[in-house]
Amino acid sequence: MRKKILFVGSFKTGNDGGWGGQLFACKTIVDSDLRQSVDWTLLDTTHDSNIASSKFRRIQKATFRMIKFIYYLLFFKFDFILIFVSNGWSFWEKGTMCILVKYWNNSKVVLAPRSGFIINDLNNKPKLSKFIKFAFKKSDFVVCQSNSWKLLFEEASNEKNDKKYIVIENMIDYEKYAHLPIKYPRENQIINILFLSWVTRSKGIYELLDAAILLKNDGFHFKITIGGKGEDFNSVERVIYSSNMSDFVSLEGWIVGDEKLKALSESDIYVLPTYFEGYPNSLMEAMASSKACIGTNVGSIPDIIKHQVNGLIIEKENPQALYLALKYLITHPVERVEMAQKAKISIRDTNSIPTVLSKFEKMFNEE
């Protein structure tokens, strides 16, 4: 018997390069072979931009979505309601949806938190933290992007339940990146270092610039490509110019499509020195592309990168640690290639689309 599922998520494709993991996951789930056993009803909650839009517009759009959601609850019957949720205002809205279902409808609620900033909401925003915990308790399933998030959510809700808190990792189109060749070291080569993310302080962009200056002062031959935009874009541009780093750091804006594949193909090292993270698609893409990666010990990154096995883990907000990690990978080319090879295998085994979709299918068939 076909399952009827209301899917609250992101389905509208943006054109600025800033649409990432949540959009890819939502569209991939809906367009997958699950269509053979699921009738989807979609409620799009894509924001105008990941950079804050006006408060009035956000409230207006959230109100329209809530009215439509209530309409679905009153006039349709669903087996599951799958809700992808971010942090902050998104959780107030989607958490309310979750709670409404339990009072007005018999559908099973699957809550799927997708933002690394949720940990900040839990630790530093008492009212929202209490609400998040309540929404967890009202959900039938909570999709956790890794074991680290599972432990955090179980601790926050004070309930340990392996059948409720289910680990389903993020997915990427592994085959899209797997064909990119491993870059083997050459004598006197310039090491290409790649950063693909929002150009904001919380992504560790200033730590990357500080580490770059240290590498330059040590006489290393390297080039850092920064692909992305964000609120600190102009500030970063000024720092690059004022510190005479223009020959070493290139600020490119969003790099998408074939240009992103080209940038990955040409890079030797990928860096993501972020302060908060859920389960970063950019990191998975780099690892699937056979890159030695450096990430911080936040969110799911320690679940993705096994330190000194398939990449390196460093402390966040620590430019010295980032410098030392980059220096190690530059001066240890054999180890760099070995990590890159193992990174590719780990993404294939954990984050390919068939592997992840099988876990969603299993959950939807739970009685």
Residue 51's pLDDT is what?
Answer: 47
Q: Are both 235 and 332 inside the same structural domain?
A: yes
pLDDT at 103: 84
CA-based nearest residue to 25, from 116, 151, 101, 112: 112
- Kindly state whether residues 89 and 217 are assigned to the same domain: no
- Do the beta carbons of residue 84 and residue 97 sit within 8 Å? no
Contact call for residues 264 and 289 (beta carbons, < 8 A): yes
**Residue 85's CATH number:** 3.40.50.2000
Whether residue 21 is found in the same domain as residue 10: yes
Model confidence, pTM: 0.87
Per-residue pLDDT of the chain (367 residues; tens, 9 = 90+): 899 999 999 997 654 444 567 888 999 999 999 999 999 999 998 875 544 556 777 788 889 999 999 999 999 999 999 999 999 999 999 999 999 998 888 899 999 999 889 999 999 999 999 999 999 999 999 999 999 999 999 999 999 999 999 999 999 999 999 999 899 988 888 999 999 999 999 999 999 999 999 999 999 999 999 999 999 999 999 999 999 999 999 999 999 999 999 999 999 999 999 999 989 999 999 999 999 999 999 999 999 999 999 999 999 999 999 999 999 999 999 999 999 999 999 999 999 999 999 999 999 987 5
How far is 360 from 307, CA to CA, in rounded Å? 29
Q: Which helix (H) or strand (E) covers residue 178, if one does?
A: helix 174-178
DSSP 296-329: ESSTTHHHHPPBTTTBEEE-TT-HHHHHHHHHHH
Are 166 and 180 in the same domain? no
Residue 57 CB neighbours (<10 A)? 11
Listing DSSP states for 105-171 in one string gives --PEEEEEE--TTHHHHHHH-HHHHHHHHHHHHH-SEEEESSHHHHHHHHHHHT---TTTEEE----
d(Cα 188, Cα 174) in Å, to the nearest integer? 32
Same domain, 12 and 154: yes
Whether residue 285 is found in the same domain as residue 188: yes
Q: Which bin fits 305, alpha (ψ -120 to 50), beta or left (φ > 0)?
A: beta
CA distance 183 to 269: 10
Question: Same structural domain for residues 178 and 150?
Answer: no
Range of the domain at 191: 174-350
Q: What is the pLDDT of residue 340?
A: 97
Judgement on whether residues 164 and 198 belong to the same structural domain of the protein: no
| Residues present in the chain in total | 367
54 and 145 co-located in one domain: yes
pLDDT at 16: 45
Quote the number of domains for the chain. Answer: 2
Same-domain pairing of 167 and 260: no
Q: Is 246 helix (H, G, I), strand (E, B) or coil?
A: coil
Give pLDDT, residue 105: 80
pLDDT for 18 equals: 42
Q: Are residues 44 and 151 in the same domain?
A: yes
Q: Are 240 and 249 in contact (CB under 8 A)?
A: yes
109 and 198 co-located in one domain: no
